[in-house]
Structure 1
Amino acid sequence: MASPLWLLLILAAATAGSVMRVRAQGTPDSTGFISIDCGLPEKSSYVDATTKLTYVSDDGFTDAGANRNISAEYIKPSFTKRYLNVRSFPDAVRSCYTLGSLMPGSKYLIRATFLYGNYDGLGRLPVFDLHIGVNFWTTVNVTTLHQAELTEVITIVQDDFVQVCLVNTGSGTPFISGLDLRPLKSTLYPQVNATQGLVLHNRNNIGPSEEAAIKYPDDPYDRAWIPWSNPTREFLEISTEMKMKSVASVYFEVPSIVMQTAFTPRDASKNFDDIYWVAVPNHVYPAPEYICILYFAELQNLSGNAVRRFNITINGKLWYPGPYTPLYLHANPVYNERPLYGSSQYNVTLTATSDSTLPPIINAVEVFSVISTANVATDPQDASAITGIKAKYQVKKNWMGDPCVPKILAWDGVSCNYALSDPSKITAINLSASGLNGEILFYFSKLTSIGYLDLSHNKLTGSIPDVLSHVSSLKVMYGDNPNLCSNSNTCQTTKKMSNSMLVTYITVPIVALFVVAGTVVLLLFVIRNKSAVIRSGVKQQNDNGHKCVQIENHQFTYRELEVITNNFQRVLGRGGFGSVYDGILEDGSQVAVKLQSVSSNHGVREFLTEVKTLTKIHHKNLVSLIGYCKDRNHLALVYEHMSEGSLEQKLRGLEYLHKSCSPPFVHRDVKTANILLSANLVAKIADFGLLKAFKCDGETHVSTARLVGTHGYLAPEYASALQLTEKSDVYSFGVVLLELVTGQPPILQDPQPINVVQWTQQCLAQGEIEDVVDKRMLNDYDVNAVWKVVDVALKCTGQEPTRRPTMTDVVARLQECLRINDE
């Protein structure tokens, strides 16, 4: 391996028909191969005369760029057709190819080739980046006008497609000559996993007498094995016509023809020390890490006292534990599992042991640099929706690749959230003055986290769809769409409205924190599978879920409360503020009256917080405030009546606030005692005396002067540092979920006090899910659904708040649990 330049000179071996060995005994299966000639005229294709692989135009894989031909002066007779043309991308920062019909979770080899050939007549060699999906692949540094550059990555593809993106870094226009994708067995290259890929640095066939690249069909995966140079002739070629009895294990499957040749020093006393590679840093990996794979097979049937034994070192350090002896006609790889790093050059030396009568031998070598593939793409539903919007409206913005990731390349006019552990979701879209025609698409309603949508100054027609009302906290701007109807019945167009920008606030947010509470209650019953009685109750809840007492907030006198409650005769419950009493209004409506007790620690501040909050925010899963009393020293709140009591009572015997309110709120006391149930098992959150608002929408946390809430439900960061975030409520709700599944209180005596989170973790570590599920469920539940609920709960109660899901995600995951149970 005299120089990595051999990799860059692959064109000389890979393009000439005379240098490709095609075996006569049959062609390997090429199912799943994608072979693209970039820049080939649309709808055209051809079959390569040597490999018999079909190469197709790239028009079906990208909608960006332009086809160009290389300059005639750089065309060589040995060139195959794919090097005569390129696709150039002068107009965008990121331009992508989408390769589809893949198997999610499978391993693939993806190769890109580049031959500049002065196609643009500028004679300027470009430098640009290449991405695989949302992860950096490599920097393409074109060094000559007439030779091909090649880069290859082995990666696991998480979806049924993968995108290869060229990124303009300001050092020349990106272009590409060819793009190939080859499926690999899952056992190949074990160093590749969901978060780590390998980028080819060198792949050499050592010892062949011909200057021929071994590719498909000799290599069924179409890897290119480039001949290793021996310009000084100090190495002796050894070869055999005998086929290998093994082909370098299931991890690598090197073609037998590669292993049938080898080099060994002519001088039996000399070491083999000409294998080396130079580290190639880039702006993402300034200190690259490497995986090296050496392939050995004895090609001579040694007899008598002949011995071939040698040590393997890299940069003078023993790499293989103990002396190595190749086996006759058995290909074997020697490789590192942990990457090499920290050197500018790596030198491999094979040194014969003192008792060896023969010099070292080597057959082939591969070297890869390691890249991270840990970046997570945008939420699939969001990505699918925005892609549908792009296709239907033919959006001409710079919309290529993933819409949100990486953040620096997010689509023009698209804003996203960027959670550390969860996929990004789209939070805002600005399509103002984008030339949109036709009706408003249903795709917008699939963007469940979107809060702002600007469709103004377009030519949209038809009515504003009701489906947009199902998107939580969505604000839409429609102005200057003259033929857009504001009402599907009267179809009054925006011409009749104010000339100023029309801003519509969608006021029916449905993906809410307290929908989750209701969902979980129902989930508990569905898991327990209580037949048609429970299911009819579920239907009744769906029919009446939005029904509440339609009375304006009213200020009651203390005397009126005495009348309503019949002198506070019947106690419904007791809390930190005081007792809750059953009451009847004049129209017969049943209410709950929460009266401050003399011993209450909750004062006027908490009382006013709850009154002010509930007069501003309304939701079907928030307990409705009907009125209040502030009469001398008497403080009371009058709520709608929840006939089935609290969730806590049932067990032992939070998105709306976060997303839809501006500024957002944190409840601070989410617990089963504060989730009340109506007669139809509609769950509603109560007790807003500890509610805390952020000062502005962009605030990440709120610092408090004192610790409030309920022991067992408090998030660690709040309990230790008084740092309050939306994820503090998420933690509390995770405890609620565990209470639902286990039937245990938040703090158990086991025999020492232990949090239900820790208790659950300990039980799962020692046994199965059945060990934590409430025994009263009598095994009458779907195990998979319960597992998922527990998994959601444990994610919610993670120690790091940034790693907890949002309440939006919790909703989606719990709904999936319901679907599993119903299947």
Structure 2
Amino acid sequence: MSSLIATGWWHACAQSARSGMERSTMAARWWLLLLIGLAAAAAGVVRGQGGAPDTTGFINIDCGLPEKSRYVDDVTKLKFTSDEAFTDGAGTIHNVSADYATASTTTDRSLYTVRSFPDGARNCYTLPSVVPGSKYLVRARFMYGNYDGLSKPPAFDLYLGVNFWQTVTVPSADWLGIAEVIAVVPDDSVQVCLANTGAGTPFISGLDLRPLANSLYQQANATQGLVLVDRRNFGVGGNATAGGVRYPDDTYDRVWLPWSNPPAEWSDISTTEKVQNTIAGLFDVPSVVMQTAITTRNSSKPIQVSWDTHPNHDYPDPGMFFTFYVSELELLTGNAVRQFNISVNGIIWTKQPYKPVYLSTDSLYNAAPHRSYSRYNFSLYAAGNSTLPPILNAVEVFSVVSTGNVGTDAQDVSAITSIKARYQVKKGWAGDPCAPKNLAWNGISCSYGISTPPRITSLNMSYSGLSGDISSYFANLKEIKYLDLSNNNLTGSIPIVLSQLQFLTVLDLTGNQLNGSIPSALLKRSQDGGLTLWYGNNPNLCSNSSSCQLPQKKSNSMIAVYVAVPVVVIGAVAVLLLFLIKKNEAKGSVKPHILGSGLPSHSQNGSEHTSLQQLHNRQFTYKDLAVITNNFQRVLGRGGFGPVYDGFLKDGTHVAVKVRGESSDQGYTEFLSEAQTLTKIHHKNLVALIGYCKEGDYLALVYEHMSEGTLEDKLRGKGSNTRSLTWKQRLRIVLDSAQGLEYLHKACSPRFVHRDVKSSNILLNANFEAKVADFGLTKAFKCDNDTHVSTIRVVGTRGYLAPEYVTTYLVTEKIDIYSFGVVLLEVVTGQPHILKCPEPVSIIQWTQQRLSRGNIEDVVDTRMQGDHYDINGVWKVVDVALKCTAQDAKQRPTMTNVVSQLKECLELEENRFREDLSDTYVTGSSIDRNSSYSTYATELSQGSTTFEMEHNLRKMPKRDIGLPTLR
């Protein structure tokens, strides 16, 4: 798509489908189509009785219209407004040349003016009042019209928020272009940005926003959007005015264009009867579109249509979606039969003939994008027993773009936006501050975490004409390291809140008009070497010679006294404690026995002794463990606590002995936490503690043995049995694990948060039943009303840590859910939680990037090649995983909900039919509305993250969607 989508609407599609057509004739007819008007708005609600559809949520912008100007479009009756309030005052407005603002070119008033952006690398429109997690159609309109008198049509890039949308390439002054994208918007507003690529000044004529029902266009989800290539209404001949369908006939204001200059062998058919839309929840096609169709005059001739792909710098091999809408418009009598097949580039797409239903809308489409060709030639041809030629009512064609990139941390955005407004910054600051990297704001540097939003780490606002005091908003940039406010006209004192920036290493305040003194906290950090502080050339700052110095330190002799006394005291206490401990140990060795029957004290303090007395498991000595493990001969694995050894009790019970290693950064606290936790919890999906050893500094825990090792090893092919887990085994494992975590979160009293959920802490027994292990970092809630626990440090494993836990240290159940979402992605993909490709990237980003191509096979573990599984279940697990790893903890499900979803996935897998379907297309009418999967479809339509759906409930083997025969 190196050129605009409208190239597909007005030019490229018609050219690719009918080579040799005259461009001038076709263009003139499409200019006439714009008599309908290209501005409008569809609310995505059901059409009311006796009136036009509700337009709630519509935004109709005429770019370049003078401020506060308004008008009503003559055709659609939609109200258009100036773009002044949406642009933050950027850009300049122009009228197109009078040669193009005429009825012979277009009567669409919104194309008579433009706003251009000669300054800045990126300029943006902000469209407000968006419902987060909902689906929208965003449409931009363009007519250059030689507005600048240069006769140099430009090219530039469009972005939807921080995600590349497409390249706009303007071929001529009279070219009318449309760029349209369907996407899920994660926030309460959405930005449309024009980026200067050095090929001319970006401009725009109009901008529309249309809410869509979330059940529509299931291929558009949280990680991928659909860019319109073509939307056609067949059966209206070359009459553009009669054939163009949009609002109010289409309640979403989609524009259905006729196929211009149809071949002579085509024949138009139509009906005045209403066509029932039995698949309205998935494809809400207006009846007026379906009331017309084409067929061929000779039943032996196929209907042939084709589309070209348009690669660009971000998508050299764009994925494509094709949806064919079909309804039988003739009441067939006698022995008349209409059945047809579809082929793509000579290869059969439909393995069995398709028969359209009388006056009922149906669809044939590929559920995953296809990317095998640069040109797609479709042929619809009559089946062998058909007496009538094929029929086609409408078509939609989309390419796929990624919407998985995340913007800058919300707190940083709020802070820098407030700073921008406070000082009226004119530095070309538009769009997201940090993303994408190549468009980051001038003077700003950012850190880009693997699984967290970008953070602002450096801000250079020197020589920026700043005046007034230093805003407290700077203190909200919590991860900033370098702050340069030099050579401005800042006044007032240095705010003490700047000392709260714990990562700040350089602060340059040189060359301002600051007064007063420097906060002592900043001075101390500067003198300690943790902060480089420059404040020269501020005439009124530190005017008192002592106001920029810390109080004098005590003399060296006094410091020596202050230090020596406590050292001597502490040393004496330590010697006494050591003597007592040695004396106690000399009384004899510890005998194995059941706790609670006179446990001898090995404690360093009374609280430790009390805690160990609460355990109701078996205590072992070091000698016992040496016997059990055959002198620690066989190592099963290693963790953060230390090595794990294989062992057997005297009664033959197989056990695993986890011993604290000398280099372990985990000590008695984690040991005691795990032992205490495991005495309070008992669940079939949690590893059971058999006993412990605490002898001097020697710490060990004895567990039930899990013969199949860790889930991580099984996914990576490690261990003696390298055979890959089947999809059904994987589902059972994650369901078992989720049930164990649900027990911790809901059934325990007090409730627990694991804090270290990962694939290496999920163990498997001989029956491949999963149990969650390693409770050394577990935290308990004090009471049922607690919502979080505050800690003083972040613990866990990089790549599994929830972003809010890293920044706030607050422990909630949602941090386990985030980590479990990462585990789910590992189970589906077989990939580690952090990949090197070649730079480190989280499995979340890796999955989102691949899903943006639309094919689930791009992420499914290749070790499951040949394993038949329910593709719907795979999509659903991925959907659950991405919901679990949502950046906003409030959007994550509960573990109870996760368990419920995984049970449905397992049910889908267990109930799938064994026969292989040969059909490579999907029909919208094949949905069983009473099935459990239909319930899933409803949940997807209501959720913030939706994924493409397979609508044929006879379950399929792995390669069964997305035109697989064309690979």
**Same fold, TM-score > 0.5, yes or no:** yes
2:15 equivalent in structure 1: 3
1:40 counterpart letter in structure 2:
L
Cα offsets for 1:404-446 (capped at 9, x unmatched): 0011111011111011221001111111111112222222222
Distance 2:425 2:611 in 1: 54
Q: In the alignment, does 2:23 pair up with 1:30?
A: no
**Are the equivalent residues in 2 in contact too, given 1:461–1:483 (CA < 8 A)?**
yes
Q: Does the alignment pair 1:193 with 2:221?
A: yes
| Higher-RCO chain (CA-CA 8 Å, sequence separation at least 6) | 2
Name the counterpart of 2:251.
220
8 A Cα contact 2:510 2:538, kept in partner:
yes
Equivalent residues of 2:61, 2:82 under 8 A apart? yes
Say if 2:452 is the partner of 1:422: yes
| Alpha-carbon distance, 1:341 to partner | 0.4
Q: Tell me the residue number matched to 2:309.
A: 279
Alignment match, 2:427: 397
Partner of 2:65: 40
Q: How does 1:260-409 map to 2 (within 5 A)?
A: 260-273=291-304, 275-409=305-439
Matching of residue 495 in structure 1 with residue 520 in structure 2: no
2:572 maps to which of 562, 565, 574: 565
Instruction: Give, in angstroms, the shift of residue 572 of structure 1.
Output: 12
1:765 shift after superposition: 2.9
Q: CA deviation at 1:16?
A: 4.4
After superposition, the C-alpha distances for 1:758-811 in whole angstroms (9 at most, x for unaligned) are: 999886333452247895627976779779999x99xx645xx45656797242
The alignment status of 1:764 with 2:758, answered yes or no, reads: no
CA distance in structure 1 between the aligned counterparts of 2:668 and 2:27, rounded to whole angstroms: 56
| Cross-structure match for 1:658 | none
- For residue 750 of structure 1, what is the aligned residue in structure 2? 703
Q: Is the 8 A contact 2:458 2:481 kept in 1?
A: yes
**Residue of structure 2 aligned with 1:51, choices 70, 73, 76:** 76
For the residues of structure 2 that align with 1:107 and 1:20, how far apart are their CA atoms?
Answer: 17
* Counterpart pick for 2:496 among 434, 457, 466: 466
Structure 1 residue 561, shift from structure 2 partner:
4.0
- C-alpha distance in 2, partners of 1:450/1:740? 41
Residue deviations 1:273-327, cap 9 Å, x none?
A: 1x11011111111111100010000001111111100011222222234110110
Give the alignment partner of residue 191 of structure 2, picking from 160, 163, 167: 163
Given residue 3 of structure 1, which amino acid in structure 2 is its aligned partner? Q
State how far apart, in whole Å, the 2-side matches of 1:504 and 1:816 are. 47
Q: In structure 1, what is the Cα distance between the partners aligned to 2:519 and 2:250?
A: 62
What is the aligned partner in structure 2 of residue 601 from structure 1? none
Given that residues 205 and 365 in structure 1 are in contact (C-alpha distance below 8 angstroms), is that contact kept between their aligned partners in structure 2? yes
Unpaired runs of 5+ in structure 2? 1-12, 17-22, 521-535, 551-557, 583-603, 616-637, 645-662, 680-688, 690-698, 714-732, 753-780, 816-888, 891-967
Displacement of 1:52: 1.2
Give, as a single letter, the amino acid of the residue that structure 2 aligns with 1:99.
L
* Structure 1 residue corresponding to 2:164, chosen from 126, 130, 136: 136
Distance in 2 (CA, whole Å) between partners of 1:374 and 1:81 is 36
Identify if the C-alpha distance between structure 1 residues 505 and 91 changes in structure 2 by more than 3 Å, giving closer, same or farther: farther
Q: Distance in 2 between matches of 1:25 and 1:282?
A: 46
Aligned equivalents of 1:420 and 1:150: distance in 2?
Answer: 35
Deviations 1:579-605 (A, max 9, x none): 9xxxxxxxxxxxxxxxxxxxxxxxxxx
1:127 aligned residue: 155
Contact 2:325–2:364 under 8 Å retained in 1: yes
| SS of match in other structure, 1:264 | strand
Residue 749 of structure 1: CA displacement?
Answer: 3.4
How far apart in 2 are the matches of 1:101 and 1:190? 23
CA contact (8 A) 2:138 2:208 kept: yes
Match status 1:431 vs 2:461:
yes
Name the SS for the 1:110 alignment partner.
Answer: strand
Contact preservation (8 Å) 2:494, 2:514 = no
Following the alignment from structure 1 to structure 2, what is the Cα–Cα distance between the partners of residues 94 and 21?
26
CA distance in 2, matches of 1:715, 1:421: 29
Distance 1:42 1:420 in 2: 43
Counterpart-to-counterpart distance in 2, 1:317 and 1:734: 66
Q: Cα distance, 1:70 vs. partner? A: 0.7
Alignment deviations for residues 348-400 of structure 1 (CA, whole Å, 9 cap, x no partner): 11111110010000000000000111111111111111111111111011211
Cα distance change of structure 1 residues 69 and 572 upon mapping to structure 2, 3 Å threshold: farther
Output the amino acid matched with 2:303. Answer: F
What SS class does the counterpart of residue 240 from structure 2 fall into? coil
- Is contact 1:93-1:167 (8 Å) kept? yes
> Quick one: distance in 2 between partners of 1:307 and 1:401?
57
User: Do residues 73 (structure 1) and 73 (structure 2) align?
Assistant: no
Q: What's the Cα RMSD here?
A: 4.6
Q: Give yes or no for contact 1:311–1:322 (8 Å, CA) kept in 2.
A: yes
Sequence identity percentage: 43
Change (3 A) 1:88 1:143: same
Query: Deviation at 1:8?
Result: 11
Q: Please show how residues 350-749 of structure 1 align to structure 2 within 5 Å.
A: 350-474=380-504, 475-486=506-517, 494-497=538-541, 561=568, 564-566=571-573, 568-570=575-577, 712-713=640-641, 742=677, 749=702
Q: How far has the Cα of 1:203 moved from its partner?
A: 0.3
Aligned equivalents of 2:174 and 2:609: distance in 1? 74
For 2:194 and 2:41, how far apart are their aligned partners in 1?
Answer: 32
Per-residue CA distance 1:6-36 (angstroms, 9 max, x = gap): 7997543133469999999421011000111
Residues 132 and 185 in structure 2, CA contact (< 8 A), matched pair in contact too: yes
1:211 matches 2:255: no
| 1:639 matched residue in structure 2 | none
- Determine if contact 1:352/1:360 at 8 Å carries over to the other structure: yes
Structure 1: gaps (5+ residues): 507-550, 580-641, 654-709, 717-727
Q: CA deviation at 1:752?
A: 2.5
* Contact 1:743–1:774 (CA under 8 A) maintained in structure 2: no
